[in-house]
Amino acid sequence: MTRTLWDSSVGKKTIMAVSGLVMLGYLVVHMLGNLKIFFGSDEFNHYAHWLRTLGEPFLHYEWALWIVRVVLVAAVVLHAVSAYQLSRRDLRARPTAYVHKRARASYATRTMRYGGLILALFIVWHILDLTTGTVHPGGFQPGHPYQNVLDTFSTWYGNVVYIVAVLALGLHVQHGFWSAAQTLGVGNATRDRVLKALANVLAVVLTAGFVSVPVAVMTGVVS
Partner 1 sequence: MKLTLRVWRQQNAEAPGAMVTYEVDGISRDMSFLEMLDTLNEELILGGDEPVAFDHDCREGICGACSLVINGDAHGPERTTTCQLHMRSFQDGDTIDVEPWRASAFPVVKDLVVDRSAFDRIIQSGGYISAPTGTAPDAHATPVPKPDADFAFEHAECIGCGACVAACPNGSAMLFTSAKVNHLNVLPQGAPERETRVLDMVATMDEEGFGGCTLTGECATACPKGIPLPSIAAMNKEWLRATRKVRR
Q: How far is the CB of 7 from partner 1 (least distance, A)?
A: 8
From the CB of 90, what's the least distance to partner 1, in Å? 4
Least Å from the CB of residue 119 to partner 1: 17
What φ, ψ does residue 123 adopt, rounded to 5°?
-60, -40
User: Which of 57, 99, 142, 219 touches partner 1 by CB under 8 A?
Assistant: 99
SS3 84: helix
Rounded to whole angstroms, how far apart are CA atoms 79 and 81? Answer: 6
When asked if residue 140 is in the footprint of partner 1 (CB under 8 A), the reply is no
Of positions 15, 37, 181, 211, contacts partner 1 by CB under 8 A: 181
Residue 201 beta carbon to partner 1: minimum distance, rounded to whole angstroms: 18
d(CA 106, CA 104): 7
Nearest to 51 by CA among 26, 20, 76: 26
Nearest C-alpha neighbor of 53 from the set 42, 40, 41, 62: 62
Q: Which is nearer to partner 1, 106 or 132 (CB)?
A: 106
Number of helical H runs and strand E runs in the chain: 9, 0
Asked if 60 touches partner 1 (CB under 8 A), the answer is no
- Interaction site with partner 1 (CB under 8 A): 1, 4-5, 7-14, 86, 89-102, 104-106, 109-110, 112, 175, 178-179, 181-189, 192
